Amino acid sequence: MADDKKFAGFICTGCGIGERLDAGQLETTAKRDGKMAICHQHEMLCSKEGVQLIRDTIDNDGATHVMIAACSRRAKVEAFSFPDVAMSRANLREGVIWARPDTDEARETTQDMADDYIRMACAEVKYMNKPKMSGEQALNKTILVVGGGVTGMTAALETAAAGFAVHLVEKTGALGGWAAKWHKRIPGRAAADGVANGTNVDLPMPMENDIADMVAAVEANELITVHLNSTVTKTSGAPGRFSADITTESGATATENFGAIVQASGWKEFDPSAIPSLGSSNADVVSNVELEALAKAAGDGPIKRPSDGKEVKSVVFVQNAGQASTAEGHLPYHSGIGDLIAIKQAMYFKAQNGKDCDTTILFDNLRTPGAAGEDFYRSGQQQMVIFSKGQVGDVTSSGNGATVNFRDLILDEDVALQADLVVLDLGMVPNSGPDPYAANESQEGMSDEEKTADNSARETAVTIDSILNLDYRQGTDLPQLKWGFTDSHFICFPYETRRTGIYAAGPVRRPMDIKQAQDDATGAAMKAIQAAINAGQGSAAHPRVGDLSYPSFRKEGCTQCKRCTVECPFGAINEDEKRYPQFNESRCRRCGTCMGACPVRVISFENYSIDTVGQQIKAVDMPDEFSEKPRILVMACENDAYPALDQAAMSGQEISPWARIVPVRCLGSVSLSWVTDAMNSGYDGIVMMGCQRGEDYQCHFVRGSTMAAERMAKVGDTLSTLNLEPERVVVHEVAITDIERAPRLIKEMEEVVEKVGMSPFKF
């Protein structure tokens, strides 16, 4: 450690801390064990006076490293913001006094916990450095939007409204996308208050299509440059310095630089040839998309059937056609908005073909999401649209028109319904590029060498189907979740993808209507602006917004194993000409997965490293085996498990007095060395708490929890070499809502230790 480091500790006695703990003893611990050169107590550190005390110590006494012992590191973040120093925090409020009963019997163990957390925070800050900017950062206030439909145009307009320039790339010769082809729109509002009282006032009706106005607004905006008949043929760089080649149909290419990217490539119609039983070869059986064209062509006049041009007198809507089905070639999901579309289109017939036009919607599970929702359904009922719950078997030809054969699920009988026109509710298929990980989604059970070879095989060549043509070693397009939708997890980080600074919006993420797509585009545009600004400041993107740290490595210790390169979920690590890792600061999310992957422990961050955690583990006072005070190490993900434990304490849940909790950026950052060091130091058990993994993952860093589970599957071998029971180390998936379960998992380890006995490594 450098001689110019000066350590200062601050202990808060507010919020009941001073009443439950011996603050004088805590100060002694910080000075004696923690080696804090300066240490102050204050009755309310987060107050104006308390914050000024810390600031004065930094400015006047030259403190470079600060330890704050007060509330959780998740609380009072704004008050305790001192970016000019390295800082750690000891959680005495939620982590100790709120997590322990206020009884004489518990006083000793409660004080022990607090003293240990002081030691741990002091040890952490000793091995931290103040993060500094990498020099890679640049502020570029131009955003690339790919896709000129409603989503893309909304993203462009919202971005321009914020003062950022936009390049909008559309592969066809006109803006507007699918929505420009619609006759009318699904309403974007609920009914007026009068409807709730039983009146028929102001029920939502199909809206006039105003997409032409949006197109005109885009074309008139001086901050928006439109590229028609164009595609993105290469994208390289990183947030703040993306470079994209925009190529026209004629082959002319222009290279532009961008701060961030929004992919709004939209959707494609499901191919009805996969469901021949529904009469897709019959001219009078049309898709909901084809019906929009018929209605638009009719204007205000009657809609006519394609076979002979006669006015439609009866129409049947077959909902959920080829959707939510396990049959080969069908869509395994439901598009969600098809019933709203059917209600809208059914009202076309009532308005244009007369009230007497027989209009039936056959559904098996009616859904009306969005603002209009139930009121729009009621509007259809008011227009005398017939809603019938039935399971359609097939659609057969009967001269002109068609016959729909279905099982009436209310009357429990078979029915044949003849109609002039049948409309199939076909699903929305995402217009995504090739999935870079589709070759072999799972790597469970593979050796490190097999994983390396597998990831190399996944490197996808540029294809005509590619949307972004990314110059990433992991592939040319955004990774996908399932069913082809772009990976943008709705729980943890809407719009975020596994490619930092590139945001997905609209139906490429999930099926949605125009209003939903507009809302989605606005969110993605704001995220893109934030990413560009963060890149200009050298700070991380979600979820560690503001973090200036970035990974570096000790070259002389690197074995070129490529594990960090392969396991980075965000494509932030390439290789130089000598095959050493080459870190891209702007792409990095600061999760530390590379650090956990490194078998020789040469990767670190200025404020998060093998030592900042390892020294915390070693700083805990380890009672001997005769004291009957076990020690359980809890490594908790800072995004879900650690907040769950905080909330547990806030709600009155007790946490084991033997637990010592270390928040980690992601379970993927956990190094096996921490496990072995902890067991060698005398810990009796280790509980690792990460996020839910799998298809419905909740890991903020996508695969961190999965990779940790894969690594820890081998920890049993390590424990065997130490002659320790494998049940001493467990990995759990913990959600942020598990405020009762999280403390219980620690209690279960306490019971395991009681069963197998204390660690033989205590002294």
> Which whole number is the average pLDDT over 37-53?
97
pLDDT band at 2 (very low <50, low <70, confident <90, very high): very low
Q: What is the rounded distance in angstroms from the CA atom of residue 36 to the CA atom of residue 57?
A: 13
**Whether residue 422 sits in one domain with residue 284:** yes
Which of 428, 450, 480 is at the close of a domain? Answer: 428
Residues 120 and 616: beta-carbon distance below 8 Å: yes
**Cα–Cα distance for residue pair 684/286, rounded to 1 Å:** 68
Is 637 a domain residue? yes
Domain encompassing residue 555:
547-606
Question: Would you call the peptide bond into 507 cis, given omega within 30 degrees of 0 as the criterion?
Answer: no
Q: Is residue 216 part of a domain?
A: yes
Which residue among 486, 514, 537 closes a domain?
Answer: 537
**626 shares its domain with 754:** yes
The verdict on 246 and 146 lying in the same domain is: yes
Under the phi-then-psi rule, with left for phi > 0, alpha for psi from -120 to 50, and beta for the rest, what region is 177? left
Q: Residues 6 or more apart from 144 whose CB is under 8 A from it?
A: 166, 167, 169, 232, 242, 244, 256, 258, 260, 261, 262
Q: Domain with 99 in it: what CATH number?
A: 3.40.50
Q: Is 330 exposed, middle or buried (0-12, 13-18, 19+ CB in 10 A)?
A: middle
Q: How confident is the model at residue 451 (pLDDT cuts 50, 70, 90)?
A: low
Q: Which residues contact 48 (CB under 8 A, 6 or more apart)?
A: none
Residue 459 has pLDDT above 50, yes or no: no
Q: Is the same domain home to 755 and 634? A: yes
Q: Is-contact 168 156, C-beta < 8 A?
A: yes
- The helix (H) or strand (E) run that includes residue 661 is strand 659-664
- Side chain identity at residue 78, one-letter code: E
Q: What band does 763 get if pLDDT is binned at 50, 70 and 90?
A: low
Q: Residues 534, 538, 542, 544: is their CA dihedral positive or negative? A: negative
pTM, rounded to two decimals: 0.89
* pLDDT tens track for 692-734: 887 778 888 888 888 888 888 888 888 888 888 999 999 999 9
Nearest to 436 by CA among 502, 372, 376, 492: 502
Q: How many CA atoms lie within 13 A of 145 on its CB side?
A: 38
Radius of gyration, alpha carbons of the chain: 31
pLDDT band at 194 (very low <50, low <70, confident <90, very high): very low
Place of tokens 């006072």: 621
Average pLDDT over residues 510-515: 92
- 741-756 vs 641-650: helix axis angle to the nearest 10? 100
List CB contacts of 457: < 8 A, sequence separation 6 or more: 439, 440
Average pLDDT of the segment spanning 680-700:
90
* Residue 150 and residue 120 share a domain: no
Q: With bands split at pLDDT 50, 70 and 90, how would you rate the model's confidence at 447?
A: low
* Residue with tokens 């403390």, as numbered in its chain: 743
Residue 194: Cβ within 10 Å count:
12
Exposure of 649 in the CB half-sphere (CA atoms within 13 A): 22
Question: DSSP state, 228?
Answer: -
Q: What is residue 554's DSSP assignment? A: -
Task: Report CA-CA distances (Å) from 200 to 185, 360, 730.
Answer: 21, 22, 60
Written as six digits, the tokens of 509 are: 């993420």
User: Cβ atoms within 10 A of the Cβ of 403, count?
Assistant: 17
Which is more confident, 56 or 371? 56
Per-residue pLDDT at 460: 32
pLDDT at 436: 85
Q: What CATH number does residue 585 fall under?
A: 3.30.70.20
The string of DSSP letters for 51-89 reads HHHHHHHHHHH---EEEEEES-TTSSTTTT--TTSEEEE
Lowest-confidence pick of 91-105, 432-446, 553-567: 432-446
Q: Half-sphere exposure (CA, 13 Å, Cβ side) for 370?
A: 28
Contact (CB, 8 A) for 586 and 137: yes
Look at the chain and report how many structural domains it folds into. 5
Please indicate, yes or no, if residue 614 is contained in any of the structural domains.
no
Domain contains 763: yes
Residue 288 contacts residue 342 (beta carbons within 8 Å): yes
Clarify whether residues 309 and 365 are in a common domain.
yes
Look up tokens 């020294």; give the residue: 615
Which pLDDT value is given to residue 440? 45
Please tell me the least confidently modeled range out of 137-146, 164-173, 454-463, 632-641: 454-463
d(CA 422, CA 409) in angstroms, rounded, equals 20
Q: State the pLDDT confidence band at 490, using cuts at 50, 70 and 90.
A: low
**Same domain (yes/no): 528, 669:** no
* pLDDT recorded at residue 345: 97
Residues 686 and 679 sit within 8 Å (Cβ to Cβ): yes
Across the range 485-510, mean pLDDT stands at: 85
In a domain, 574, yes or no: yes
More confident site: 188 or 186: 186
Q: Is the pLDDT of residue 455 over 60?
A: no
Which of 324-328, 362-366, 370-374, 671-675 comes out lowest in average pLDDT? 370-374
Task: Please say whether the beta carbons of 674 and 667 come within 8 A.
Answer: no
* CA atoms of 683 and 659, how far apart (whole Å): 10
Give the pLDDT score at 462. 37
Q: Collapsing DSSP states into helix, strand and coil, what is residue 196?
A: helix
Q: What is the mean pLDDT of residues 669-688?
A: 94
* Three-point CA angle 573, 559, 453, nearest 5°: 60
Instruction: Judge whether residue 41 has pLDDT over 60.
Output: yes
**Separation of alpha carbons 476 and 463, rounded Å:** 9
**How many Cα atoms sit within 13 Å of 645 on the Cβ side?**
37
pLDDT attached to residue 449:
57
Q: Is residue 152 part of a domain?
A: yes
413 shares a domain with 292: yes
Q: In 3D, which of 362, 518, 513, 370 has the Cα closest to residue 428?
A: 513
Instruction: Give tens-digit pLDDT for 247-305.
Output: 999 999 999 999 999 999 999 999 999 999 999 889 999 999 999 999 999 998 999 99
641 and 567 assigned to the same domain? no
- Of 467, 521, 461, 457, the closest CA to residue 499 belongs to 467
pLDDT exceeds cutoff 50 at 658: yes
Instruction: Note whether 417 and 440 are same-domain residues.
Output: no
From the number of C-beta atoms within 10 Å of its C-beta (0-12, 13-18, 19+), residue 33 rates as: middle
Rounded average pLDDT over 147-174? 98
At 439 the pLDDT is 52
Query: To which H or E segment does residue 288 belong?
Result: helix 288-298
**Does one domain contain both 174 and 194?**
yes
Decide if 447 is inside a domain: yes
- Give the CATH number for residue 201: 3.50.50.60
Among the candidates 402, 428, 454, a domain finishes at 428
In-domain check, residue 612: no
| Mean pLDDT across 633-640 | 96
pLDDT-above-70 percentage for the chain: 94
Give the per-residue pLDDT at 695. Answer: 75
Q: Which of 353, 335, 228 is nearest to 298 (CA)?
A: 353
Residues 354, 278 within the same domain:
yes
Distance of CA 107 to the CA centre of its chain: 42
For CA atoms 105, 109, 111, 113, the dihedral sign is negative
